[in-house]
């Protein structure tokens, strides 16, 4: 029996990352989570503990994951942190944390995975954001990190296309996840007030809701399948139309 395809998921203990792990595991893939804390992964999956804010840590984590998995067919860069606040008040420490986790980690995990993905003609899916394709007031550092992910995705897709490796980014809006709850706790001044303010920006009006991690995971899953062979270098929105443009308000 041939060995199953294998996926490495950074941020595998987070809301989106854990949903991605479950989706691939349910389809019979070998899965490895890479996160700063040990992940509660599905049975038979692997977990690597690593702080992905340095290139060396990224290289070591990928090597460890490949040793456990035996091969690598897909990388999903889902590790991410949020920061909001006035640009003038953002400290260098805050800025470095957001850039290092969201952009630097994505870059160097991808770089370390390239030789393994070339041998399987695999793919990379990066988690960007609506904030990676449009500006979000009060979140300039986060936008800088995710904007970097979005354009990095396009550049890497062009670089790797001749080698048979596809690279895409998924750009969710607000996802009902621990990160969103942390945003409300740390910046919201009241959870419901924070959620109401976010949902007011969606074109669905009173029918607006947040995206679920499973919805994002399903999108990521599709992008790693043969049916998505023509899709590379794309920043793909899953945001209920949040980033589509300006819409009339009542």
- Longest CA span, the chain: 60
CA dihedral 182, 186, 189, 191 (to 10 degrees): 10
Strand order in 166-172's β-sheet?
A: 46-49, 30-35, 6-10, 74-77, 123-127, 166-172, 235-238
Alpha helices, DSSP H only, in the chain?
A: 15-26, 55-69, 92-99, 105-120, 140-160, 178-187, 191-199, 213-223
**12 CA to centre of own chain:** 10
Q: Which residues form the catalytic set?
A: 142
């Amino acid at each position: 029996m041939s060995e199953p395809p294998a996926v490495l998921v950074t941020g595998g203990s987070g809301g989106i990352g854990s949903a991605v792990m479950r989706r691939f595991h349910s389809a019979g893939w070998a899965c490895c989570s890479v996160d700063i804390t040990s992940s509660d992964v599905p049975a038979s999956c692997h977990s690597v503990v690593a702080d992905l804010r340095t290139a060396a840590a990224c290289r070591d984590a990928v090597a460890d994951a490949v040793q456990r998995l035996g091969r690598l067919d897909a990388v999903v860069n889902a590790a991410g942190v949020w920061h909001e606040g006035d640009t003038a008040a953002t400290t260098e420490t805050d800025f470095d944390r957001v850039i290092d986790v969201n952009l630097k980690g994505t870059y160097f995990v991808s770089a370390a995975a390239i030789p393994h993905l070339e041998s399987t003609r695999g793919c990379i899916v990066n988690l960007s954001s609506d904030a990676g394709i449009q500006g979000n007031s009060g979140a300039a550092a986060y936008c800088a990190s995710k904007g970097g992910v979005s354009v990095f995705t396009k550049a890497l897709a062009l670089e790797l296309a001749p080698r048979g490796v596809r690279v895409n980014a998924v750009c969710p809006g607000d996802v009902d996840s621990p990160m969103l709850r942390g945003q409300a706790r740390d910046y919201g001044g009241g959870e419901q007030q924070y959620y109401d303010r976010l949902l007011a920006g969606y074109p669905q009006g009173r029918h607006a809701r947040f995206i679920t991690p499973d919805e994002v995971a399903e999108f990521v899953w599709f992008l790693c399948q043969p049916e998505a062979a023509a899709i590379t270098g794309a920043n793909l929105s899953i945001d209920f139309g949040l980033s589509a443009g300006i819409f009339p308000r009542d």
